[in-house]
Chain A
Amino acid sequence: MNESWLLFKRSLSDFWRIFRRNRMGMTGAVLVLAAVMVAVIAPALSPYTPATVIRDEAGRGLTFAPPSVHGPLGTDDAGRDVWTQLVYGARISLTVGFMAGFIAMFVGSLLGILAGYFGGWLDNLLMRVTDVLLVIPDLPLMLVLVATLRQMELKVSPLTVLILVIGLLYWTSTARLVRSQVLSIKERQFVARARAIGAGHFHIIRKHILPQIMPLIVANTVLILSTAILIESGLAFLGLGDPTQPSWGTMLNFAFDRNAISNGAWWFYLPPGLAIVWVSLGCVLLGNVLEEMLNPRLMGHHLEGEARVVKTEAGRG
């Protein structure tokens, strides 16, 4: 409908008016968007591919060439251009991080909504599962899972395995957050009114519960993205990445394997490390600001109007 589009635009511009003034949030957004841009236009940023070996006049591979000798970031142990690997690596890191993050967000929100709304045995079961998953340390568990799945010679790419393992193990915090929100929203009077009108569960969830928790889910997703990217880097650093499609974590893994540190080749290991920090810092800044701005405790209340005004004032100050 035309009207709903107009309303959407209106709430978006309302949001932007406040967000724009928030320095932390803007910084985060710029960091994340810059990384995404680099990933998208990677081929335009470098004349080489990540696998191209740079050679000197004599035709020998230019190994561990410092930035002063070649390109903006020098070469690695095999004479490949580090800058090229970095910009192409953004594609892998961000893809894995984003896909895993979205899977985690989707699974977590769905299970959180079902558990919170319907309660009963479903709720019990889900909460016990999240308890167990919360207690087991993430990284070792994922390590074991990814390694095992790799051994099984499944007909899926190593990156898909990585995405699925991270995505399907990382939904618990989202599920808990969403569940607790749903528990309080479903007791509110407008939900009782919807039931009294004759609305079914699906209608109530879609029209009354989801719109209230959507902002929370968005903010949480951005935070989850940073964790997913960090975990991907961790697993790849430990050698579980796809060597044919190196992410930033894989680059770090190579760098440590090939003694970049003892060779003093800082241009090999520093850039991917900083890139990881760059993106996850961006996500955390953005996510925290979104969470604060879209906090359901401030929203959906009859003081909503006032709360917004207060926020705007605070944003100015």
Chain B
Amino acid sequence: MPDSPLLIVENLVKHFPLNSSLLDLLLRREPDVVRAVDGVSFSLARGEVLAIVGESGCGKTTIARTLIGLEEETDGTILFGGQRIGTHERRLRAGLIPLEAGAVGTREQQTLPRMSLKHLRQHAQMIFQDPYESLNPRATIFEIVAEPLVVHGLLRKREERIARVKSALEDAGLRPAEDYFLRYPHELSGGQRQRVVIAGAMVLEPELLIADEPVSMLDVSIRAEILNLLKELQKKRGVGIVFITHDLGTVAYFADRLAVMYLGRIVESGPTAEVLRNPQHPYTKALLSVVPVPNPRLRRERIILQGETPNPLNLPGGCRFHPRCPVAVAACKQSDPAYIRVAEGHETACLLVQPA
């Protein structure tokens, strides 16, 4: 299936139950949940870059962790290369949840071939936010980059392994690679560490890379370098990237498509240029208005959002953005808006937007 999407996510839900108190148990109350991800759908073509943008706490990392199987999804379907993955699937198969109860995905999808987590992890890799924390301080750079090969039992010959690690490090811009083999993470700078992380992610030649704010912990001066590196790898290898960021500034140049998240939902998505040129959702407009623009003629009026981000524990009824929305009307308190198609591939969830 060469032209089918690499990744399809349908109605992904991840709730974190809070520790229920004894009182809850006695009263048989449902424990409170943090609705970190609350019904997110998107797809990613092979070799495409999708940026997920949103402010802190909106559930970006949770999506990434669920995609790679570090968290068990509460509900929803994840298809990777046409195969169902995800831990919910495992419970379905074990008969813990009847097929229909999921209420997501068609019957056909539910009977699709399944992929094990281990298999998925050979083809999808994640880059974590903090390069200072994502490398084992007691492993050498060689061990770190070679680890995926070891775990998956690939390239068992020593020379082959060394050659692959060397080329991965050099592709990640660490040259000459041999100089890094026997060094430890604490001997490297933050940028170099993130390059090591990228080398480790690319060593298996994955089809999907999930990059969770890969540059936000780095010094501003080296952010561009790392982004360039990712872009270059994406072009050369045709790897699809889910690029998570809270910085709309980097998105324009990096991503093919853009999804704007607010409190566990995607509020607007579409081709990057289209969304940036013609934002529809008030939240997107507000985000865009505060991005520094080099061209003064393009400068817009700044929209400063009022109020705090609501707690994902206690979501407002109706449109979840209405308490902070500058243009909210009475209806916004009542109904949760559905997605409206604005242009080819451009959708938004706002009651005030007219369909195209």
Q: Footprint of B on A, CB under 8 Å?
A: 3, 6-7, 188-190, 192-200, 203, 207-208, 211-212, 299-302, 304-305
Contact = CB atoms under 8 A, between A and B. Distances in A.
Contact of A7 (B150, B151, B182): B182
Nearest to B183: A7
Given A197-B121, A207-B139, A208-B139, 20 more contacts: A6-B182, A7-B140, A189-B130, A190-B133, A192-B70, A192-B128, A193-B126, A193-B128, A196-B69, A196-B125, A197-B125, A198-B118, A198-B121, A199-B151, A200-B151, A207-B147, A211-B139, A300-B138, A302-B133, A302-B137
A7 B65 CA distance: 34
Given A207-B147, A211-B136, A189 B182 contact: no
B122 A198 contact: yes
Interface of B: 65, 68-70, 117-118, 121-122, 125-126, 128, 130, 132-140, 142-143, 147-148, 150-152, 181-182, 185-187, 197, 200
A207 B136 contact: yes
Contacts of A212: 136-138
Contacts of B135: 190, 193
Q: Is the interface of A mostly helix, strand, loop or mixed?
A: helix
A198 B117 CA distance: 7
A198 B148 contact: yes
Contacts of A198: 117-118, 121-122, 148, 151-152
B128 A211 contact: no
Contacts of B122: 198
Contacts of B65: 192
Contact of B134 (A3, A190, A203): A190
Contacts of B139: 207-208, 211
Contacts of A192: 65, 70, 128, 134
A6 B140 CA distance: 12
Contact of B137 (A6, A197, A203, A304): A304
A190 B132 contact: no
A196 B70 contact: yes
A79 B181 CA distance: 66
A85 to B, nearest CB: 46
B187 A305 contact: yes
Contacts, number: 79
A190 B152 CA distance: 18
A304 B12 CA distance: 40
Contacts of B148: 197-198
Contact of B186 (A188, A194, A211, A305): A305
Nearest to A212: B138
B126 A301 contact: no
Nearest to B64: A196
A304 B136 contact: no
A190 to B, nearest CB: 4
Contacts of A305: 186-187
Contact of A300 (B126, B137, B187, B200): B137
Nearest to B136: A190
Contacts of B133: 188-190, 302
Contacts of A189: 128, 130, 133-134
When A and B form their complex, which 7 residue pairs have the shortest distance between CB atoms, in order from nearest? A198-B121, A302-B132, A189-B133, A211-B138, A300-B137, A304-B186, A190-B136
B134 A197 contact: no
A300 B184 CA distance: 10
A67 B333 CA distance: 99
11 contacts: A7-B140, A190-B134, A192-B65, A192-B128, A197-B148, A197-B151, A198-B118, A198-B152, A208-B139, A302-B132, A302-B186
A300 B69 CA distance: 26
A211 B148 CA distance: 18
A3 B182 contact: yes
Contacts of B126: 193, 196
Contacts of B138: 211-212, 300
Contacts of B128: 189, 192-193
Nearest to B126: A196
A104 to B, nearest CB: 25
Contacts of A194: 136, 147, 151
Contacts of A302: 132-133, 137, 185-186
B324 to A, nearest CB: 32
B134 A193 contact: yes
A93 to B, nearest CB: 35
A72 B184 CA distance: 54
B136 A195 contact: no
B196 to A, nearest CB: 11
A203 B139 CA distance: 13
A188 to B, nearest CB: 6
Contacts of B200: 193, 197
Contact of B70 (A195, A300, A304): A195
A106 B139 CA distance: 23
Contacts of B134: 189-190, 192-193
Contact of A196 (B68, B137, B140, B142): B68
Contacts of B130: 189
Contact of B121 (A188, A196, A207): A196
Given A6-B182, A189-B128, A199-B147, A208 B70 contact: no
A189 B187 CA distance: 19
Nearest to A193: B134
Nearest to A307: B186
Nearest to A185: B136
Q: Which of B128, B138, B197 has the most CB of A within 10 A?
A: B138
B175 to A, nearest CB: 20
